[in-house]
Structure 1
Amino acid sequence: MPDPSTDLITLGRRIRHHRKLRELTLDQLGARVGVVGSQLSLIENGRREPKLSLLQAISVELGVSVPELLSGEAPDARTALEIELAKSQAGPLYAALGLPVVPTSRNLPLETLESLVGLHRELTRRAGESIATPEEARRANTENRLAMRALDNYLPDLERLAEEMLASVGHTTGALTHRSVSLLAERLGFTLIYVDDLPHSARSVTDLANGRIYLPPASIPGGHGLRSMALQAVAHRVLGHTPPQSYAEFLQQRLEINYFAAACLMPQTASVAFLQAAKQRKDLAVEDFRDAFGVTHEAAALRLTNLSTSHLDMTVHFLRVGEDGAIYKAYENDGLPLPVDVTGAVEGQLVCRYWAARGALARTNRTTEFYQYTDTPAGTFWCATQTGKTDGGSFSISFGVPFSQAKWFRGRDTGMRQVSRCPDESCCRRPATELADRWSENAWPSAKLHAHILSPLPSGKFPGIDDNEVYSFLESHSGS
């Protein structure tokens, strides 16, 4: 039998090509090799795989070797178009349209064949553009979160890769310098270039042709430092990423580059040593971890979720919550009852008003971490919360553990304690009866509209990226 990987459509078209060169009909060739013409027709159309003995007989009659018949190359330009059309029509994308298949016979005019192939190419291109509706994004985010929860948010292969890369540029301890990041890029054949006119839809742009990574000249709001952005751009190359074929793949790539960047900024060996020493002293603190490696509070808290279960033997949770109480990011493997919608998504869900993630935003003094114990239907949890502010508004970062693990952390002696009954709506969502009676018929608020939740991301090769803007940018800089 032919190799299972043999392209039957190409094989069939090559047999037909050489049969036509010999000026043989299907019935004539069939009589010579011992099969009926209809069976040969199925083989030539890629619908039936010939036995090896039959393939050998055909090769003898056509005067062509078996390896030549099995070649993956089309015998001529016309046949190449026929093969492409046949494959396109056999694929799931075309099948989903419910349209009839156009026979790719020699009677099909060349102009028609070229038009049909062109239409299929455009259909494939458009389908390949990663267009993400809010629903699709939420589903993909949920799948990602649950997958990482099953792994305790820990990716050992990326940890090892990050340490190998750091060792290659001589980085051992302390905060990772911009110089070391530049050396990492240079080892991969890239130069970091800082520009003022970076496309508004992109955090960075990599010019693969000229070996350049373009970055903004200064840190952007939200704690995304230049080192992190550069490392994320480098990570795409280190990890061998190709343009994402779906929004889920796009999110997976984002997860991997963020993880790699964090593992470089806070290397596993040095981080674990630092954290284990702090745990032994019963003085673990996100702010100390943050300061030791020169990163943002959010980055340090997220990095703790990577290392706590695998190296500190603790289950944990993390929250980034906006000033309206909605979740932007969340992770837990300690049983904290995160609010979820019917699909299991947490993004955009409101956390309980009694959780520290919301309570800290109401505090007048936000310069220090806020500690709190919270009794929930799933048990008691301790957390440390820090607040920040961007152009988009205030936010809080919370890192916490179950009650039994609080003994390892600074702030464990806090007297702040709250009780949360959520998701029971009587906890903090349902208004008091007397207030509802007074105002339910006398209030007409106008809600803020978050337009971004109603629209899909701009379509293009990469979700959210304006291709025209990026390509124009690269063209303008290619000669510099």
Structure 2
Amino acid sequence: MTAPGASTDPLTLGRRVRHLRTQRGLTLDQLAADTGVSASQLSLVENGHREPKLGLLSALAAALGVPAGSLLDPEPPTRRAALEIALERAQSSPAYARLGLPAVRPSKTLPTEALEALVGLHGELRRRDEAASATPEEARRANTELRQTMRAVHNHLPELEELAERQLRAAKHAGGPLTHRTVARMAADLGLTIIHVDDLPHSTRTVTDLENGRIYLPPVSIPGGHGLRSLALQAMAHQLLKHSAPVDYADFLRQRMEINYYASACLVPRTPALELLRSAKAAKDLAVEDLRDAFGITHETAAWRLTNLAMHDLDIPVHFLRVTEDGSLTKGYEDDGVGFPADAGGAVEGQYVCRRWAARAVFSQRDRTTEFHQYTDTPAGTFWCSAQTGRDATGKRFSITVGVPYVHAKWFRGRDTQVRARSTCPEEACCRRPPTELADRWEGRSWPSATMHAHVLAPLPTGAFPGVDDAEVYDFLERHAR
């Protein structure tokens, strides 16, 4: 027989003893006399404050006329007992203790309806507490800390590289671009089936039905970088990495980074990617577009994957930017000292990139079929960059840029470019302050109507999975589970 406390909840055991005692019409003193303990000791057991030893457990079972094992049943004996247990647990939580409010004792005189209401209120408070996401400042700080962590390891995670290659071998991936059929086989190895639907909840990219073993994907790729293979691999990564519901925004960001890394490592496996990159480096002909075309991926995935391998395996420090057409930096990584614009807390997301940098100069190029190359002289040194533009799901343009210090430009195709710019940012005179003659001409003689940036007023998404509409997701799952 399992000893009390090994896997038994003392509260549930205590309520079961009380239920059986009152059911048999015994007082606390009578049961105490039958078991050879004091009434005060027995009261502690019934209230879940003391776990009975094996001898007392056997004596209680004999006195109550039940098998000893039945006292260890993890289910509360009645609905009332379940409510009392739930209330006691809620009132003993740190969150309730912080409120400084008195505990409500679930005495016999407390109506069951009142217990229902109290337990329901505690449940809702707990749900809101768990769902509350970080403030914008906390989220930016968490994102900055994650970026710094990844920079310290040169954006390279060996354990995820190994996991990706192991899963590909198990799926008998023969090389070249990863096919949808192989991705489906990888899912099947995890007991999952990929299903494409056209009614995916608007707040999700994918939904995994763990009960029925299904990964629901949209019918077509999401413009801007989220291909169907990548989405499926990200969904699988949550299961492979045994992720649980994020406990805070930092945990959510870490999980998102890990699934993205795993998906990229599957789409561009390290071993064949390094064969291509090392050969290209030897020929001084490295190019993001070659990595993109060899593995059938987006330009952004190829550029980001290069950052995973560049410093760790090629001894080339790099930087990466994704920048919107208005110049806002939405994603960035650097281990080459280029120096991104940052706020006081070190966050780079949302900061405006210098107009002179290749990440913004590329938008003015007429030929957008090939990569744009440029040297830029900055206060941190001279950097060579390769940039390419794309469009997101809303049709808005963005640029993807990979750059290296001047001394490492020799390894890349496009190093012979004659395009050169000079940036003195963060000095405002570089590109933020208008020329004196234009300022004198138009200051006080113009009134621009600013575009409203909705994100400034929008609250940070809430929920254990920030921004996900649980009601919509559960309705979707129920609809498709039939």
CA RMSD of aligned residues (A): 3.5
Query: Are 1:455 and 2:440 matched, yes or no?
Result: no
2:212 is matched with: 210
User: Tell me, what secondary structure is at the counterpart of 1:382?
Assistant: strand
Residue 426 of structure 2, aligned match among 423, 426, 429: 423
- Native 8 Å contact 1:130 1:247 kept in 2: no
User: Tell me, what secondary structure is at the counterpart of 2:184?
Assistant: helix
Q: Give 1:127 shift.
A: 2.4
1:277 is matched with: 279
- Native 8 Å contact 1:289 1:300 kept in 2: yes
1:443 is matched with: 446
- Native 8 Å contact 2:307 2:320 kept in 1: yes
1:110 is matched with: 112
Q: Give 1:313 shift.
A: 1.8
Structure 1 residues 344-383: aligned runs within 5 Å: 344-383=346-385
TM-score normalised by L of structure 1: 0.85
5+ residue gaps, structure 1, are none
What amino acid is aligned across from residue 347 of structure 2 in structure 1? Answer: A
Residue 236 of structure 1, aligned match among 229, 234, 238: 238
Q: Cα distance 1:217–1:68, how it changes in 2: closer, same or farther (>3 A)?
A: closer
- Native 8 Å contact 2:329 2:348 kept in 1: yes
When structure 1 is superposed on structure 2, of 387-396 and 335-344 the one drifting more is 387-396
Following the alignment from structure 1 to structure 2, what is the Cα–Cα distance between the partners of residues 42 and 382? 74
Q: Cα distance 1:89–1:125, how it changes in 2: closer, same or farther (>3 A)?
A: same
Following the alignment from structure 1 to structure 2, what is the Cα–Cα distance between the partners of residues 18 and 403? 81
- What CA deviation, in whole Å up to 9, does each residue of 1:266-304 have, x standing for no partner? 001111111111112221111111111111110000011
Query: Are 1:23 and 2:34 matched, yes or no?
Result: no
Q: Give 1:13 shift.
A: 6.5
- Native 8 Å contact 1:388 1:394 kept in 2: yes
Residue 407 of structure 1, aligned match among 407, 410, 415: 410
Residue 396 of structure 2, aligned match among 393, 397, 406: 393
When structure 1 is superposed on structure 2, of 119-128 and 258-267 the one drifting more is 119-128
Q: Give 1:362 shift.
A: 1.8
- Native 8 Å contact 2:321 2:332 kept in 1: yes
Following the alignment from structure 1 to structure 2, what is the Cα–Cα distance between the partners of residues 8 and 339? 56
Following the alignment from structure 2 to structure 1, what is the Cα–Cα distance between the partners of residues 274 and 253? 27
Q: Give 1:333 shift.
A: 1.7
Query: Are 1:76 and 2:77 matched, yes or no?
Result: yes
User: Tell me, what secondary structure is at the counterpart of 1:427?
Assistant: helix
- What CA deviation, in whole Å up to 9, does each residue of 1:378-421 have, x standing for no partner? 22222211112343421111111222222221222323232222
- What CA deviation, in whole Å up to 9, does each residue of 1:80-115 have, x standing for no partner? 433322221222322344433223455544332232
Q: Give 1:59 shift.
A: 6.5
- Native 8 Å contact 2:8 2:74 kept in 1: no
1:251 is matched with: 253
1:433 is matched with: 436
Q: Cα distance 1:188–1:23, how it changes in 2: closer, same or farther (>3 A)?
A: same
Query: Are 1:476 and 2:475 matched, yes or no?
Result: no
5+ residue gaps, structure 2, are none
How many residue pairs get aligned? The number is 471
Residue 153 of structure 2, aligned match among 148, 151, 158: 151
Structure 1 residues 312-327: aligned runs within 5 Å: 312-327=314-329
- What CA deviation, in whole Å up to 9, does each residue of 1:327-383 have, x standing for no partner? 111111222211111222211110111111111112222222122222222222222
When structure 1 is superposed on structure 2, of 248-257 and 317-326 the one drifting more is 248-257
What amino acid is aligned across from residue 400 of structure 1 in structure 2? Answer: G
- Native 8 Å contact 2:248 2:464 kept in 1: no
